[in-house]
């Protein structure tokens, strides 16, 4: 019995056991494409389409119906709308394999009117499209993409997984078939070479040739398929790419050998053909692994967002719904250990949430009733009830993912240039091959074939086209591993040239909290007693000073209960403990109960009616890694400076502690911009580091802007680099990485150009046999890929600094 596909109506090939869940039943489908399409339509609640339609859909792989992409339900999940009428989407594209593919897609989509920008990243297989909503529908764009033979997928983690797995398995199979085939073909080739020297009777020779043909055929027909498919695609689009030369070379070698075998001619090249295929597949396999590693970070973030949510209906009952069905205003319940399905506000009592994957902060944060919860953060104490505020593409998580995706799909200037040169180069190579063939035909017809084949193989600009994308991809993934995101792809080049790093003070070098550094007590009082009284008075206060006191008083010390607490804004707190009146706060306020005064910003006075009990000295808490980060930057030969809007005394205090001599206090944003301007006019390349509450314009004025991940979205959107880990020591590490990346990139480009220019003349003069050309070409591609793998995150500097940082509360003398 032959079964037909539920989605497209075609017969299902034998051995295919795929099912799509539609309206609760599993339906047989013929391919992954149809499965995805059917399940997709079903999850949107459009399963009725299958009952109502009067003819089967197109096979999804050929040209699926993309009109579903224009539905608001779907667009809300994957499309980001801008205020100026443009929209942005990121799609995952099947069959996107090389720089030539991305060039083709770029060209084809840009021709559509209404498409504003197309950015293709062959490494991550993602295409970012910006279009004007009024001029063209998303479905029309995607239809064009499908017509080219690239199947677009919504960019979500599930589609990615299925695709990844299938691609990895097929690639491995092809590689092994090519490898085993190559080994066998080589053995038979050795026999034939030996026979050519020692003598071999024609029947044995023909036997080995036929056996060689037998093992090489699967290599060419099965393992080399990606090259033929790629060449076909390039031909259909009338653009020349690398696959054209590769496929032409494979086909030429194979068909010539086949002809020689059948007619009993002089020479067969089955070993060359299979080795060529194997080495090329090996290079592509390595590249695939490298780019999968790079895509891992984005996947981890995308997977954070759960697919289902528990929604409370108006009658109070709970129902399970898909996350994409949630709307602002819904009330959802999140169990302990589960991730938030959307951004929202907390309805119940206080709870603890872990936002580590978003902010890098590993300690759970306490959220109180009415405070914001972020999609993707994990509930540590629950269950939690929350009111949904933002869903889908509007969540904070989505904006972070979009930031990373933009970093991955925005192709650096160098890559664009590289592609253009490669495409022109291929045309030249084909012309040169024809010329070589013609020349040898007149000089020595017997060598025509070998020489022109060698030119074709040697000149394949694979290494050249690979070098830029592989290097940048590797750098982006290494940066992501030390917690640095690169929203602008030219950031690396700029970072490598930086010679002055300017820090904002508050929120960047310091944390927005205070720490207690010293307690001076009046005669006859103990520090413990004074701290307990202070803690009792500050018990309910939200002032940073109160937090510093609470941190200093360990939990064992019992805190007495204070009565009739009264807060005087900007001055301090008054309260009664065991019948005694106390005041804590600014000196003039605290000592008003008695007499005397001191004036120091950083001292808080605790006093009773008779006079001062204790002076509590506080200071701003430095980021624990700040000093090490600045020392590391100095070691790299960079100037370090600080700009602060704070008072001179505070700025000086921080500058002394961090050993910064070049600082400016009481600087308005205009003054900061002016300072940056002066440095830049003096010839410096300036990096500005800020958290961005009011730094966004200042960041924009620097050569390279670095925003902290804990900062505002505004700052992050204008930044070249975002420190997602929220750690300053990522800056020196990132700079080292940038220097390595540029060095490796230069090596790769020099290597590729030198190889091609040295190889082509040799091949044209018939000095390079085809098998040597195949080794050389694959070796140059492998060299580029392996050289790029050298770009690795510096060895765990983050952990080292963390381990040596003193514990925060330890600074308090007790």
Partner 1 sequence: MNIILVLIPLSLILLAAGIWAFFWGVNHAQFDDLDTPALIPLADDPPAVAARREGDVPP
* Token duo for residue 497: 């040239």
Dist. CA 266–CA 257, nearest whole Å: 10
Q: Rank residues 179 and 344 by Cβ distance to partner 1 and give the closer one.
A: 179
Question: What does each C-alpha distance from 499 to 496, 683, 704, 738 come to in angstroms?
Answer: 9, 10, 11, 13
> What backbone phi and psi angles, to 5 degrees, belong to 682?
-75, 5
Considering the complex, what minimum distance in angstroms separates the CB of residue 451 from partner 1?
33
Q: How far is the CB of 789 from partner 1 (least distance, A)?
A: 16
- Of the pair 219, 456, the CB lying nearest partner 1 is at 219
Shortest CB 165 distance to partner 1, Å: 6
In this structure, what are the phi and psi dihedrals at residue 806, rounded to the nearest 5 degrees?
A: -70, 145
790 in contact with partner 1 (CB under 8 A) = no
Q: Which residues contact 245 (CB under 8 A, 6 or more apart)?
A: 426, 429, 430, 456, 459, 460
d(CA 701, CA 721): 14
Nearer to partner 1, 161 or 563 (CB): 161
Binding marks (x or -) toward partner 1, 109..148, rule CB under 8 A? ----------------------------------------
> Around Cβ 124, how many Cβ atoms within 10 Å?
27
How many CB atoms within 10 Å of residue 20? 22
70 is catalytic: no
Q: Which listed range, 138-146, 171-179, 428-436, 601-609, lies at the site for partner 1 (CB under 8 A)?
A: 171-179
Query: In this structure, what token pair is assigned to residue 158?
Result: 């599930």
Residue of the chain from 3, 110, 169, 447 that contacts partner 1 (CB under 8 A): 169
The least CB distance from residue 218 to partner 1, in Å, is 8
For residues 149-168, which are near partner 1 according to CB under 8 A?
A: 165, 168
Candidate list 25, 82, 147, 204; residue touching partner 1; CB under 8 A: 204
Member of 11, 176, 255, 796 binding partner 1 (CB under 8 A): 176
Contact with partner 1 (CB under 8 A) among 8, 12, 32, 215: 215
Q: Distance between CA atoms of 51 and 400, rounded to whole angstroms?
A: 40
- Of 254, 296, 289, 295, the C-alpha closest to 275 is 254
Site for partner 1 in 46-85 (CB under 8 A): none
Q: Segment contacting partner 1 (CB under 8 A): 68-76, 209-217, 446-454, 661-669? A: 209-217
Under the binding rule (CB under 8 A), the answer on residue 184 touching partner 1 is: yes
Segment interacting with partner 1 (CB under 8 A) among 169-177, 233-241, 698-706, 707-715: 169-177
- Number of neighbouring beta carbons within 10 Å of residue 351: 24
The answer to whether residues 759 and 485 touch, using CB atoms and an 8 Å cutoff, is: no
Q: How far is the CB of 32 from partner 1 (least distance, A)?
A: 14
Residue 204 or 594: the one with the smaller Cβ distance to partner 1 is 204
* From 57-65, 100-108, 203-211, 270-278, span contacting partner 1 (CB under 8 A): 203-211
- Of 226 and 487, CB closest to partner 1: 226
Phi-psi region of 148 (alpha: psi -120 to 50; beta: other; left: phi over 0): alpha
Nearer to partner 1, 177 or 785 (CB): 177
Is the CB of residue 183 less than 8 Å from the CB of residue 227? no
Q: Which of 49, 50, 207, 232 binds partner 1 (CB under 8 A)?
A: 207
Q: How far is the CB of 156 from partner 1 (least distance, A)?
A: 20
211 binds partner 1, rule: CB under 8 A = yes
Q: Which of 173, 313, 349, 557 binds partner 1 (CB under 8 A)?
A: 173
Cα angle 488, 490, 495 (rounded to 5 degrees) comes to 100
Contact between 172 and partner 1 by CB under 8 A: the answer reads yes
> Shortest gap between Cβ of 771 and partner 1 (angstroms)?
22
How far apart CA 379 and CA 377 sit, in angstroms, is 7
2 or 203: CB nearest partner 1: 203
180 binds partner 1 (CB under 8 A): yes
Instruction: Assess contact for 687 and 643: CB atoms under 8 A.
Output: no
For partner 1, the closer CB: 186 or 401 = 186
- Among candidate residues 610, 567, 571, the one with its CA nearest the CA of residue 588: 571
Phi-psi region of 17 (alpha: psi -120 to 50; beta: other; left: phi over 0): beta
Catalytic residue, chosen from 106, 271, 504, 726, is 504
Instruction: Write the DSSP assignment of 378-389 as a string of letters.
Output: EESS--EEEEEE
Complex with partner 1: residue 214 or 700, whichever CB lies closer? 214
How would you class 57 by CB atoms within 10 Å of its CB: exposed for 0-12, middle for 13-18, buried for 19 or more? buried
Q: Least Å distance between CB 15 and partner 1?
A: 10
Which residue bears the tokens 């690398």? 242
From 713, 695, 728, select the one nearest 623 (Cα to Cα).
Answer: 728
d(CA 36, CA 7): 10
Of 177, 231, 252, 584, the one binding partner 1 (CB under 8 A) is: 177
Sole window of 170-178, 492-500, 544-552, 647-655 interacting with partner 1 (rule: CB under 8 A): 170-178
Taking residues 252 to 271 in sequence order and writing x for each that binds partner 1 by CB under 8 A, - otherwise, the string is: --------------------
Choose between 64 and 178: whose C-beta lies nearer to partner 1.
178
Cα-atom radius of gyration of the chain, to the nearest Å? 34
Residue 30 Cβ, how far from partner 1 at the closest point, in Å? Answer: 18
d(CA 715, CA 694): 8
* Stretch of 206-214, 691-699, 765-773, 800-808 lying at the interface with partner 1 (CB under 8 A): 206-214
d(CA 205, CA 196): 9
- The β-bridge partners of 153 are 92
Tokens coding 533: 């009284």
Helix H or strand E encompassing 591:
none
CB of 288 to partner 1, least distance (A): 13
- Min dist. Cβ of residue 179 to partner 1 (A): 10
**Helical pair 770-789 and 462-481, crossing angle rounded to 10 deg:** 20
Q: Residues in contact with partner 1, total (CB under 8 A)?
A: 14
Q: What distance separates the 2 farthest-apart alpha carbons in the chain? A: 120
Identify which range of 147-155, 174-182, 295-303, 478-486 contacts partner 1 by CB under 8 A. Answer: 174-182
Minimum CB separation from partner 1 for residue 205, in Å? 12
Q: Which residues bind partner 1 (CB under 8 A)?
A: 165, 168-169, 172-173, 176-177, 180, 184, 204, 207, 211, 214-215
Q: Annotated catalytic sites, by residue?
A: 504
């Amino acid at each position: 019995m032959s079964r037909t596909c539920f989605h497209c109506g075609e017969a299902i090939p034998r051995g295919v056991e795929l099912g799509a869940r539609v309206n609760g039943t599993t339906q047989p489908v013929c391919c992954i494409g149809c499965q995805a399409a059917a399940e997709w339509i079903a999850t949107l609640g459009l399963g009725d389409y299958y009952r109502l339609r009067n003819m089967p859909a197109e096979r999804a792989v050929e040209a699926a119906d993309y009109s579903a992409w224009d539905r608001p339900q779907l667009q809300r999940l994957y499309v980001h709308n801008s205020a100026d009428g443009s929209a942005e989407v990121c799609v995952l594209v099947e069959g996107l394999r090389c720089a030539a593919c991305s060039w083709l897609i770029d060209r084809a989509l840009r021709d559509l009117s209404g498409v504003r920008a197309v950015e293709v990243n062959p490494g991550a297989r993602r295409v970012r499209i910006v279009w004007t909503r009024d001029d063209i529908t998303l479905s029309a764009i995607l239809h064009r993409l499908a017509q080219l033979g690239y199947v677009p997928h919504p960019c979500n983690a599930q589609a990615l997984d299925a695709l990844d797995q299938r691609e990895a398995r097929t690639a491995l199979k092809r590689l092994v078939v090519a490898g085993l085939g190559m080994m066998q073909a080589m053995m038979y080739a050795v026999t034939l070479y030996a026979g050519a020297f020692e003598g071999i009777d024609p029947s044995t020779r023909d036997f080995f040739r036929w056996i060689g043909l037998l093992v090489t055929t699967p290599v060419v027909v099965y393992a080399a398929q990606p090259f033929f498919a790629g060449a076909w695609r390039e031909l259909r689009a009338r653009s020349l790419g690398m696959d054209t030369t590769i496929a032409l070379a494979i086909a030429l070698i194979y068909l010539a050998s086949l002809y020689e075998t059948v007619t009993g001619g002089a020479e067969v090249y089955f070993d060359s053909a299979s080795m060529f295929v194997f080495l090329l597949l090996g290079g592509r396999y390595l590249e695939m692994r490298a780019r999968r590693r790079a895509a891992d970070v984005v996947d981890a973030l995308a997977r954070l967002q759960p697919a289902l949510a528990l929604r409370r209906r108006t009658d109070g009952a709970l129902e399970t719904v898909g996350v994409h069905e949630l709307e602002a205003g819904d009330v959802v319940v999140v169990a302990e250990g589960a991730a938030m399905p959307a951004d929202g506000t907390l309805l119940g009592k206080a709870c603890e949430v872990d936002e580590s994957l978003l902010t890098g902060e590993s300690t759970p944060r306490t959220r109180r009733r009415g405070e914001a919860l972020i999609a993707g953060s994990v509930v540590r104490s629950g269950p939690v009830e929350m009111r949904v505020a933002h869903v889908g593409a509007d969540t904070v998580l989505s904006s972070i993912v979009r930031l990373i995706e933009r970093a991955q799909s925005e192709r650096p200037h160098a890559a664009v240039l590289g592609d253009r040169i490669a495409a022109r180069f291929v045309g030249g190579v084909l012309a040169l091959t024809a010329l070589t063939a013609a020349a040898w035909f007149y000089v020595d017809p017997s060598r025509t074939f070998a020489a022109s084949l060698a030119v074709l193989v040697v000149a394949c600009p694979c290494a050249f086209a690979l070098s830029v994308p592989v290097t940048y991809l590797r750098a982006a993934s290494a940066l992501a591993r030390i917690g640095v995101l690169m929203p602008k792809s030219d950031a690396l080049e700029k970072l490598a040239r930086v010679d002055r790093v300017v820090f904002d003070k508050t929120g960047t070098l310091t944390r927005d909290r205070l720490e207690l550094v010293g307690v001076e007590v009046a005669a006859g009082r103990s520090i413990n007693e004074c701290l307990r009284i202070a803690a009792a008075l500050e018990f309910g206060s939200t002032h940073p000073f109160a937090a510093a006191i609470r941190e200093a008083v360990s939990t064992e010390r019992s805190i007495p209960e204070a009565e009739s607490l009264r807060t005087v804004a900007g001055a301090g707190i008054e309260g009664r403990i065991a019948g005694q009146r106390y005041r804590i706060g600014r000196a003039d306020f605290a000592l008003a109960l008695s007499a005397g005064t001191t004036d120091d910003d950083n001292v808080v006075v605790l006093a009773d009616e008779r006079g001062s009990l204790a002076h509590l000295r506080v200071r701003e808490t430095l980021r624990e890694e700040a000093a090490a980060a600045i020392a590391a930057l100095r070691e790299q030969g960079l100037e370090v400076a600080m700009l602060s809007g704070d008072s001179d005394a505070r700025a000086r205090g921080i500058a002394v502690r961090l050993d910064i001599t070049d600082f400016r206090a009481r600087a308005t944003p205009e003054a900061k911009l002016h300072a940056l301007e002066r440095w830049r006019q003096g010839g410096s390349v300036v990096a500005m580091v800020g958290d961005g509450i009011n730094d966004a314009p200042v960041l924009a004025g620097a050569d390279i802007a670095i925003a902290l991940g804990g900062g505002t979205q505004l700052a992050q959107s204008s930044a070249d680099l975002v420190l997602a880990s929220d750690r300053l020591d990522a800056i020196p590490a990132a700079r080292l990485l940038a220097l390595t990346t540029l060095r490796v990139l230069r090596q790769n480009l020099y290597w590729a150009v030198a190889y091609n220019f040295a190889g082509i003349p040799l091949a044209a003069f018939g000095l390079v046999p085809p098998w040597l050309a195949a080794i050389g070409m694959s070796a140059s591609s492998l060299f580029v890929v392996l050289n790029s793998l050298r770009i690795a995150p510096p060895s765990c500097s983050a952990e080292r600094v963390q381990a040596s940082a003193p514990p925060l509360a330890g600074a308090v003398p007790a």
